[in-house]
Amino acid sequence: MPAVNKRAVNIGRWLGLAALGLAGCAGMPPSTLPKEPEHLVVVKTVRIPSTEPWVSRFAAHTWLDLKNGSEKNWERVEILSKESGVMIYPITSAEARAEARWDNRVEVIGLVSGDAAEKMIPQLVERARNYPGSAEYVGWPGPNSNTLITYLARETPGLQLQFNHNAVGKDYAPWFYAGPSVTGTGWQVDTWLVGIQIGVKDGIQLHFIQLTLGVSLFPPAIDLPILPRIGWP
C-alpha cells in the first residue's frame, strides 16, 4: 500500500476514535431492559423539560422505575417539586421502556434484577415514603429529586449508580457528608457548597454549588459544568 494511503487510513482511524470520544454520554436506553426477570430496579435520568427555568438547558432529573412481579406491575418513584412530595405511582410497561420523556432522551444509569431486586423493592418504597427531605425541596442547590435518589442509594445496600454529572443536587449535604459514593467504587466529602469525589468509576470530581467538574479514566471522559459529557459513556 502506498505511504499516502497508509497515512489516510491512520488519519481515518484517529478521526473515528475522536468522533466516538466526542459523542457525549449515551447510556443504556430503557427499550433494551430485559423482560425475563420478574423484578427490576431501574435508575433513570433525563434532562428536565424546557418549560422549567434556565436550568432546563442542562440540568438532569433522576428517578426509579420498579418492576415487581410482572410486566403489568411497574411503579415509578420520584419527586418533582415541593408541592408534589415523593410520588410512588403505577406506570405501564410501555412507560417503563420508553426512550423519551418530556421530549428528551432517557438513559438507564443503574440496574438491579432478579432476587436482589425483589428484596430491594420494598425497602426502597418504604424509605422513599419516609424520605426526610420531601418537604424541603429546593430546585437549586437541593435537596431535590436527585438528592432523593442519592439518599435511597446510600440507605439501600446493593443499589449502585453513576449520576449524570449535571444532576444538580446529587451531592447535596446540608452540612457535611464523608463516606462512600453511590457508584460503590469511590469516596466523597461534601457540603452544599463544595466537595470532592474520587473513585474507580467516579474518577476525580470537584463540586462547587452543586456543579461538577470531573475527569474519568475508566472510561476516559471529561465532565464540565453545564456541558454534555465529553468522552465515552
Give the pLDDT confidence score for residue 208 in this predicted structure. 94
- Residue 9 domain-assigned (yes or no): no
What is the percent of the chain with per-residue pLDDT over 90, rounded to a whole number?
71
Please count the structural domains in the chain. Answer: 1
- Cell output for 190: 461534601
The three-state secondary structure class of 54 is helix
| pLDDT per residue as tens digits for the range 57-107 | 789 999 999 999 999 999 999 999 889 999 999 999 999 999 999 999 999
What is the overall mean pLDDT for the chain?
87
Instruction: Answer yes or no: is 38 within a domain.
Output: yes
Q: For residue 3, is it within any domain?
A: no
> pTM for the whole thing?
0.85
Q: Mind giving me the DSSP string for 46-115? A: EEPPTTS-GGGGT-EEEEEEEEESSTT-EEEEEE-STTT-EEEEEE-HHHHT-SEETTEE-EEEEEEEHH
146 lies in a domain? Answer: yes
Are the beta carbons of 15 and 221 closer than 8 angstroms? no
Residue 73 domain-assigned (yes or no): yes
Backbone angles phi, psi at 231, to 5 degrees: 135, -165
Give the three cell numbers for residue 174: 446540608
Pairing of β 220-223 and β 230-231: antiparallel
Q: Read off the pLDDT of residues 30-67 as tens digits, 9 standing for 90 and up.
A: 999 999 999 999 999 999 987 777 666 789 999 999 99
The pLDDT tens digits for 147-164 are 999 999 999 999 999 999
The yes-or-no verdict on residue 232 having pLDDT over 80 is: no
Residue 12 included in any domain: no
Lowest mean pLDDT among 20-24, 25-29, 137-141, 151-155: 20-24
What is the grid cell recorded at 141? 442547590
54 found inside a domain: yes
Provide the residue range defining the domain that includes 112: 25-231
Q: Is residue 160 part of a domain?
A: yes
| AA identity, residue 92 | T
Cis-peptide, bond into residue 30, ω within 30° of zero: no
pLDDT band at 209 (very low <50, low <70, confident <90, very high): very high
Name the percent of the chain lying above pLDDT 70.
87
What pLDDT does residue 233 have? Answer: 67
pLDDT at 20 over 90: no
pLDDT score, position 23:
34
**CB contact at 8 A, 124 and 77:** yes
